[in-house]
Amino acid sequence: MSAKIVTITSGKGGVGKTTAVANIAVALATNGAKVCCIDGDIGLRNLDVIMGLENRIVYDIVDVIEGRCRLRQAMIRDKRLPELFLIPAAQTRDKTAVSPSDMVRLADELRGEVDWVLIDSPAGIERGFRNTIAPADDILIITNPEVSAVRDADRVIGLIEAEEKNKPSLIINRINPVMIKAHDMLSAEDVLDLLAIPLIGIVPEDENVIVSANRGSPIVLNSKSIAGMAFRNIAQRLEGQEVPYLDLDNHGGLWNRIQRIAGKN
């Protein structure tokens, strides 16, 4: 086994990093892969809550790094999927408790254990961001169709390019076709045109995402949700499959264009 290490990051907070990590991890594990998520948002842990695992935490990432427990002891097994694990963040420490080289060592140790390591990153471009970027083989940038979120995504992409990492891929989250039609929001096409990196997913706005997060049951587990379907598609694309993009506005026009741009990248 040699895991692929994938970090999800955004620059801006609240765009859906943690939601994406939880959902993509559940989707990969449902497809039969062995997956470990790492909550890299030290001091503000919440991946455990979204995955419904907060009651099971004994050890956290800082305990592993500082040698108070072994790696396996900090890997919490998911209650639904036996091949899904979470290494939680420490809630009472700050991001300086972990360094980029600690993260590289931790990820390397996990490589032999699982097929995928998904790392959730904090907002910002400082130490916490660099900690989660350092071990990544691949990086997924997540953004919302808003000028400020896109500006931050652009900044983060620039920093990743400057470090000569693999070219990141893009998830556009919370697309709302009604608002785009009313010209109240950037379209997926506008976002892609500016950021100019390959697209890996478009996730619609869906209030069930919030409801399911509060219940600790990621939306991909809900087979009727389109947002859930969009996250399942991202997992499949990560696995190397070609999956067509969802037609989110029932008219085809915009989505045909997106298919075209996505193909071009």
Partner 1 sequence: MDEQTIPIQIKGLRDGLLISIGDGEWATLEPALFEYIDSQDSFFRGARIALDVGAQKLKVNDLVSLRDKLSEHEISLWAVMSESALTEKTAQLLGLATRISKPRPEQLNQFSVDGHNNETALFLDRTLRSGMRIEYPGHIVVTGDVNPGAEIIAEGNVLVWGRVRGMIHAGAKGDNSAYICALALAPTHLRIAEVVSGKLKKGENQTPVIVKISKDGKLKFVPWQPE
Ligand X SMILES: Nc1ncnc2c1ncn2[C@@H]1O[C@H](COP(=O)(O)OP(=O)(O)O)[C@@H](O)[C@H]1O
When asked if residue 144 is in the footprint of Mg ion (CB under 5 A), the reply is no
184 burial type by CB count under 10 A (0-12 exposed, 13-18 middle, 19+ buried): exposed
CB-nearer residue toward partner 1: 72 or 151: 151
Helices (H), ranges, 37-121: 47-50, 61-65, 71-74, 100-111
Overall size of the chain counted in residues: 265
Residue ranges in 14-33 that form contacts with ligand X under rule CB under 6 A: 14-19
Q: How far is CA 233 from the centre of its chain?
A: 13
When asked if residue 7 is in the footprint of Mg ion (CB under 5 A), the reply is no
When asked if residue 209 is in the footprint of ligand X (CB under 6 A), the reply is yes
Q: Which of 18, 144, 173, 217 binds Mg ion (CB under 5 A)?
A: 18
Residue reference for tokens 């993009």:
245
CB-nearer residue toward partner 1: 21 or 65: 65
Tokens of 234: 């991202």
3-state helix, strand, coil in the chain (%, to 5): 45, 15, 40
Size of the site for ligand X (CB under 6 A): 17
Residue 101 touches which of Mg ion, partner 1, ligand X, none (Cβ within 5-8 Å per kind): partner 1
When asked if residue 132 is in the footprint of ligand X (CB under 6 A), the reply is no
Measured from each CB, the residue nearest to Mg ion is 18
Tokens of 111: 């490589």
CB-nearer residue toward ligand X: 171 or 262: 171
How many Å apart are CA 249 and CA 239, to the nearest integer? 27
CB-nearer residue toward ligand X: 115 or 117: 117
Q: Which residues bind Mg ion (CB under 5 A)?
A: 17-18
Q: Which residues bind ligand X (CB under 6 A)?
A: 10, 13-19, 173-174, 203, 205-206, 209-210, 213, 227
